[in-house]
Amino acid sequence: MSWIHGSVRSQLRTYAKRILIGGTATAAGFVAAYRNDLTQLQFDTFSAFGPFLRLLDAESSHNVAVWTAKHGIVPRDRRPDIASLGISVWGREFPNPIGLAAGFDKDADGVKGLLGMGFGFVEVGTITPLPQPGNPKPRCFRLPELGGIINRYGFNSLGVDAVSQRLETLRQQGLVGPSTPQAPRGLVGVNLGKNKTSEDAAADYSVGVKKLGQFADYLVINISSPNTPGLRALQGRKELEKLVKRVKNTRDQMQWGARGPPPLLIKLAPDLTDTDKSDIATVCLRLGVDGLVVSNTTITRPGAVADHPTGSEVGGLSGKPLLELSTAALADMYRLTKGKLPIIGCGGVSSGEDAYRKIRAGATLVQLYTALAYEGPSIVPKMKQQLAACLEADGFTSVQEAVGVDHRIKQS
């Protein structure tokens, strides 16, 4: 075991001691705790293997996690969601507002398993028109003491054709596509990107719309990753206006079923200036963008991240250190759009209380990613229970009642 990091060896010894010392009393307590909830036992047992998975480097453990979802080696939650968590957005019925952010399942490899874990929706991608390898490895780095990750993947993608085939298979299995009460389907968002060497970003995003829009409950134009050169420049007013017009025109010229076209969202960075935010809000409202995702990773290194040995790595920072910055950006965009656009709140969410903060700040839906990497599948049911408790404690009977409530309090 000499190859295992010292802190990990110490942690494993601690786990072993707990198992050995606990004895019969621990076993009895264990049985009593899970006697009436075998589903939770599955989630907690699976998540207990997290420290062993993290013996691998960050990208390898990520790949293993996606593999387990692909092959159904993940816990499945068949329990109905708490009624207060259901919400209707864009004519879609979300059983709960907790979703998995883009970046985890980049190529729609594990959608079935991930939806089965109890997420209200799963966003796949980022997907580029042509396959591309992304940036050189290593390109993903943990900051475990801070609950953060820095990545510079660079839109590694199998491309739209490969992902289209996978989503078509899921549709034939009845797992994606139009949902009805008689035939419920998983809700899947598709996050679109541009190829690194492409000189026509709008054409790239339009390809994604044409090839993948038919499978999507919503589409996301990702113009905020810090790991593709020049991408964030598309958030400028003139550039964004040109981009949205072309991509939206592509979508609107296509033939859609009774549900109509998939909603078109823009994913934003948390590092925008006040002028940038105001310009983006103006463009999105004027051109009829259907929603926002706020936010992507940050290129800043707030607080203790700057002093962390890994903090100097180039790339986007996600996880707990991003919570304050991303939530502030979310609140700004809700205010600037006057609450007219549904917003998916993303960045630093690691508990039901964090999700509730995002909702009060203006989020209609919430996503996580880094917290799943650290805590495993058990975080999904835990977050839903915590969120429901927060709603009940403040007298809300639904998520919708709490959306943007902090703004209403300030105005009163």
Nearest to 356 by CA among 325, 396, 316: 396
| Helical ranges in 154-273 per DSSP H | 160-172, 201-212, 237-252
Cα–Cα distance measured from residue 92 to residue 247, given in angstroms and rounded to the nearest whole number: 22
Rg for the chain, CA atoms, rounded: 21
Token pair 């979300």 in the structure block, residue: 94
The one-letter amino acid code at 140 reads C
The one-letter amino acid code at 224 reads S
Query: C-alpha angle with apex 47: 27 to 167, nearest 5 degrees?
Result: 140
Say if residues 350 and 375 touch (Cβ distance below 8 Å): yes
With a CB cutoff of 8 Å and minimum separation 6, the contacts of 4 are: 12, 55
Note the maximum CA span of the chain.
68
CA quadruple 95, 97, 103, 104: dihedral sign: negative
| Residue 179 known to be catalytic | no
Q: Which of 47, 157, 225, 378 is catalytic?
A: 225
Say if residues 87 and 398 touch (Cβ distance below 8 Å): yes
Contacts for 66-71: CB closer than 8 Å, 24+ residues apart: 66/104, 66/105, 66/109, 66/110, 67/109, 67/110, 68/110, 68/113, 69/105, 69/109, 69/110, 69/111, 69/112, 69/113, 69/114, 69/117, 70/109, 70/110, 70/112, 70/113, 71/113
- Tokens standing for 103? 């970046």
Cα–Cα distance measured from residue 62 to residue 69, given in angstroms and rounded to the nearest whole number: 11
| Helical ranges in 195-236 per DSSP H | 201-212
Query: Where in the sequence numbering do the catalytic residues fall?
Result: 225
